Amino acid sequence: MLRVRLKQSLADRGYRLTRQRAAILEVLAGTREHLTAEEVHRRVRFLCPELNLTTVYRNLNLMARQKIIGRVDFGDGRARFEARSDHHHHLFCLGCGRVIEIPACPVSIDEVFVRQHSFRITEHQFEAYGYCADCDRPGSEGAPV
Amino acid sequence: MLRVRLKQSLADRGYRLTRQRAAILEVLAGTREHLTAEEVHRRVRFLCPELNLTTVYRNLNLMARQKIIGRVDFGDGRARFEARSDHHHHLFCLGCGRVIEIPACPVSIDEVFVRQHSFRITEHQFEAYGYCADCDRPGSEGAPV
DNA sequence: ATTTAGATGCAAATGATTTGCATATATACC
DNA sequence: GGTATATATGCAAATCATTTGCATCTAAAT
């Protein structure tokens, strides 16, 4: 089960499985949404009412750094977190914030070019923005990618 | 000439060409670097010593919004600006911050998938991270994209 | 030269995120 | 199970990039 695996990964790396960490993972594992620290905090208060926002930040960072969970940046100034930690990308609706996960990585960089510059790529980030069916109304101009 | 064209675009859109705006464009047009607001401010003080950082922000935002200049986000918590405003992408060196511009857009999203979700993509962002020749020393692990 | 909408400077506010430090508590060990 | 101790947590205060309010200034239209 997802939440068991997530909690196990903490123990595996020598981190304590505290009540607050369990609650945070519980929240993330229980949704497919991509939550900000604030949102995690709000939802976690149900399971663990005294949990401090600072602790939420500290643990989301820890877990993202350990690649136990994933962190995404949709360019709106706050990080979002999700239970998935494998390499993938998203469509982000500028209208409602809805997120659709893209199954395959659509990026293929010209290897010759990269080699010419002797650059070693270790990671990349890609996110696409636009409007989902519900938010797409005439009036918001836009050229497809 | 680049700087003339940039300044003209301000006038074309009904914005005043102030001393400070001219200085900001002068700085951006004079380099291929991708500068933070702070960096622009520091360099602009040569041409226009009383120029306020707030004004730098206001104008960089205005010009980026008007697509007169480009804004890039390398995920380190501060925006960078460049004279180029056309669609392109970068390799960002995590060691020294050096930026290499990628000539062709390496992204091609599965159109069938997007259509299935009735999503209309209006823009996307992509940046690749890694180490340039100068910064690449054994010890920093990394899997190619 | 005059007018005035638009621009600037300064100080103070924001908002997300981080840090310092005293206190609390998982887990290793007996 | 009880105890020790390295780790976590909570709270308040600090950061850092960026934005905003407002009084003053100025580019550019007349």
Q: What is the pLDDT along chain B (145 residues), one digit of tens a residue?
A: 788 899 899 999 999 999 999 999 999 999 999 999 999 999 999 999 989 999 999 999 999 999 999 999 999 999 999 999 999 999 999 989 999 999 899 999 999 999 999 999 999 999 999 999 999 866 544 444 4
- Domain residue spans in chain A? 2-82, 89-130
DSSP secondary structure code for residue B2 in this structure: H
Q: How far is the CA of A55 from the C1' of C23 (A)?
A: 15
What pLDDT is stored for residue B145 in this prediction? 44
Nearest to A124 among B104, B132, B145 (CB): B145
Whether the CB-CB separation of A68 and A10 falls below 8 Å is answered with: yes
A73, A126, A132, A137: which to substitute to probe chain B, counting the most B Cβ within 10 Å? Answer: A126
In whole angstroms, give the CA distance from residue B88 to residue B94.
19
H helical segments located in chain B: 2-12, 19-29, 37-44, 53-65, 111-116
What pLDDT is stored for residue A67 in this prediction? 96
Nearest residue of chain B to residue A135 (CA atoms): B119
What pLDDT is stored for residue B136 in this prediction? 85
Q: Which of A136, A61, A122, A128 is nearest to A99 (CA)?
A: A128
User: The tokens of A130 are what?
Assistant: 């636009």
What pLDDT is stored for residue B43 in this prediction? 96
Instruction: Say what angle helices B2-12 and B19-29 make with each other, to 10 degrees.
Output: 140
Topology of A2-82 in CATH?
Arc Repressor Mutant, subunit A (1.10.10)
Please give, rounded to a whole number of angstroms, the shortest distance from the CA of A64 to a CA of chain B: 15
- Where on strand D do bases come within 7 A of a protein Cβ? 7-13, 16-21, 26-28
A78 chain-B contacts, CB cut-off 8 A: none
User: The tokens of B110 are what?
Assistant: 């599965």
CATH of B89-130 among 3.40.50.150, 3.30.1490.190, 3.30.420.40, 3.10.20.600: 3.30.1490.190
What pLDDT is stored for residue A4 in this prediction? 87
Whether the CB-CB separation of B70 and B13 falls below 8 Å is answered with: no
Q: How many CB atoms lie within 10 A of CB A73?
A: 14
pLDDT tens profile A62-78: 999 999 999 999 999 99
What pLDDT is stored for residue B1 in this prediction? 75
- B75 and A122 in contact by Cβ < 8 A? no
Q: How many CB atoms lie within 10 A of CB B84?
A: 15
A99, A123, A131: which to substitute to probe chain B, counting the most B Cβ within 10 Å? Answer: A123
Give the 3-state secondary structure of chain A: CHHHHHHHHHHHCCCCCCHHHHHHHHHHHCCCCCEEHHHHHHHHCCCCCCCCHHHHHHHHHHHHHCCCCEEEECCCCCEEEECCCCCCEEEEECCCCCEEEECCCCECCCHHHHHHCCCEEEEEEEEEEEECCCCCCCCCCCCCC
Please give the single-letter amino acid code of residue A55: T
What pLDDT is stored for residue A145 in this prediction? 44
- Kindly provide the b/e burial profile for residues A43-62, where b requires at least 16 CB atoms within 10 angstroms of the residue's own CB: bbeeebeebeeebbeebbee
A49: the nucleotide nearest its CA (via C1') is D10
Handedness of CA A79, A83, A86, A90 (dihedral sign): negative
- Where on strand C do bases come within 7 A of a protein Cβ? 6-12, 15-20, 25-27
In whole angstroms, give the CA distance from residue A37 to residue A66.
17
What pLDDT is stored for residue A1 in this prediction? 75
Do the domains B89-130 and B2-82 match in fold?
A: no
Nearest to A126 among B91, B94, B124 (CB): B124
Rounded alpha-carbon distances, angstroms, from residue B144 to A123, B29, B98: 7, 33, 19
Pairing type for strands B120-131 and B89-93 reads parallel
Under-50 pLDDT residues of chain A: 140-145
Whether the CB-CB separation of A119 and B132 falls below 8 Å is answered with: yes
Q: How far is the CA of A138 from the C1' of C18 (A)?
A: 43
